[in-house]
Amino acid sequence: MLQPATSPGALKTANLSHNLLPPLDRDGWVFLALFVFVTALLFWAWWPLGWAGVVLSLWCAYFFRDPARVCPAGPNWVLSPADGIVSGIGPAVPPAEIGLGSTAQTRISVFMNVFNVHVNRSPVDGEIAAIAYRKGRFFNASLDKASEFNERNALRIQTSAGASLGVVQIAGLVARRIRCDRKVGDMVFAGQKFGLIRFGSRVDVYLPAGIAPLVNVGQIMVAGETVLADLAGGRERPAVMR
């Protein structure tokens, strides 16, 4: 009789290990190597300083963690593109460079502190219709003026139903690097990773006209899992696909 390739006990151990030690984003390996190298120098220079380096190296690995996510099943749901907290909801004109027009749309801002996962995920299924990077300042990303003045990378995603959403990666007070792994014409699915910001930042989502948010200011977001809105106009809370 055929035996299972992995026993239930081994599978449970593997899942526990994955949850406690999630994989790192590719940027994380470079920074972790640098932190470990500096830590070795600190131990050589003065033993107590080396332990400070160990703490910072552990934080570096924690910051760049890239845990798996289980996305809700729903073709019209808009998922959170980032971990963090909803810092603002209200009308705002999208960045002009991505072609969403000059009319104010509902903007949901998700602020990420230095302890949140910083991997960004697509909020919907669709095609990347526009990408525009703009240099700028580095105000605290939780401030409203960060949307206008901070360094940013904006995307317009077109769904198969014809809806257009804006997704804007915004650098924060200590963030100095926005990474976008997609290009115009790429197809993405809801919950798919498309970039990263380091080290503390914000992501704005501009909803199509007439679509109401399903979240509130102060609510904690999980990228690729928390539902921000329903493009079909419904307000029923989704069940998570298992």
What are 183-235's pLDDT values in tens digits?
A: 999 999 999 999 998 776 899 999 999 999 999 999 999 999 999 999 987 54
- Cβ atoms of residues 109 and 89 within 8 Å: yes
Listed in order, the ranges of the chain carrying CATH 2.70.70 are 77-230
Please tell me the distance from the alpha carbon of residue 97 to that of residue 208, in angstroms, as a whole number: 17
Active site residues: 201
What are 57-87's pLDDT values in tens digits?
A: 888 788 788 898 998 877 899 999 999 999 9
Say if domain 77-230 classifies as CATH 1.10.3470. Answer: no
Buried b (16+ CB within 10 A) or exposed e, 159-172: beeebbbbbbbbbb
The confidence score (pLDDT) of residue 234 equals 52
For residue 68, the one-letter residue type is A
What are 113-168's pLDDT values in tens digits?
A: 888 998 999 999 999 999 999 987 766 666 676 677 788 999 999 998 899 999 99
Whose structure tokens read 């919907």? 124
pTM for this model (two decimals): 0.81
The confidence score (pLDDT) of residue 27 equals 76
Residues contacting residue 198 through CB under 8 Å, at least 6 positions apart: 27, 63, 64, 118, 175, 176, 177
Quote the strand ranges of 159-231, DSSP E: 164-171, 177-180, 187-188, 193-198, 201-206, 220-221, 227-230
The confidence score (pLDDT) of residue 150 equals 81
108 pLDDT tier (thresholds 50, 70, 90): very high
Among 73, 81, 35, CA closest to 205: 81
